[in-house]
Structure 1
């Protein structure tokens, strides 16, 4: 069976190199933050966001335990405010939506902040860069969040970006991901 997480990483790898600037917009327990840190190396930059103190503590502990490069900034803030913290164009970004693994399932990402965060992230991604968005439709907010994201991304002009959805066709509530690639020739302007 295809491993969606490994597929995501393989797709991201072509956009990330030593010295890249990247973001984990939903740091959770820090696994994506750690992976990104290792990909961009000592000269790269990783911005990681979460609203939960437990997520920051778990991530910081993981990064220290793994002897991670000190190339990251952990931000306890909603991802929709990302432009207040990111001061450079990004090569790639990751959204892993839903709730903190092992945390309170009542605390989940919400359409009201996720969509503005994705739109802000798209505006910061360099031409030729990408976003990876993991969606979990097994709970009501996740289903609604996914529908809104798909609807919004399908409205972008292909001159700006291409958005692809990867899912298991015969498992309606299984997680899926959306891969967004900014057109290399995109110069800005209307979506």
Structure 2
């Protein structure tokens, strides 16, 4: 069976390299933060967002235990506020929508009201030839609604600036899936304005 997590990391590696800037928009327990940190190396930067202080604590412990380069900034704020903290173009961003894994708090979840402005900001920050991965968990109601909302939004974007793709298992409708959003190489980079 296809490994969707491995596949989405493969797509990020096609766009992100040493010394570049990346954002983990939904830090959780820090697995994507660690992946991004190792990918950009000591000369790169990673910003990671979560609204739960326990996510920051868990991520910091995970990064230290795994010997990640100290190239990351952990931010206790909603991902829709990304442009308050990130003032430069990014080459990659990762969203794992849903709730904090293994927390037991399934009532604290990403919501459409903040996910949409976060994704819009991420696309604006995305450098030419940059990529976003957005993992969707349709097994719970808000996750299914987030996926539907984003699918409709991506259909409205100019294919000359953005290529949006969807990857899912066709005969397992409640399995996680992801969107890959790539900015074309000829777009104008973000200038922080």
Do these two structures clear the TM 0.5 threshold for a shared fold by scoring above it? yes
- Alpha-carbon distance in structure 2 between the residues aligned to 1:74 and 1:29: 12
1:130-163: CA deviations, max 9, x gaps?
Answer: 1000000000000101100110011001011010
Residue pairs, 1:1-191, within 5 angstroms: 1-103=1-103, 104-187=105-188
Question: SS in structure 1 opposite 2:95?
Answer: strand
Structure 1 residue 187: Cα displacement? 2.9
Q: Which runs of 4+ in 1 moved over 4 A?
A: none
Question: SS in structure 2 opposite 1:138?
Answer: coil
Structure 1 residue 14: Cα displacement? 1.1
TM-score, normalising length: structure 2: 0.96
Listed as ranges, the gaps of 5+ residues in structure 1 are none
Across the two proteins, how many residue pairs are aligned to each other?
189
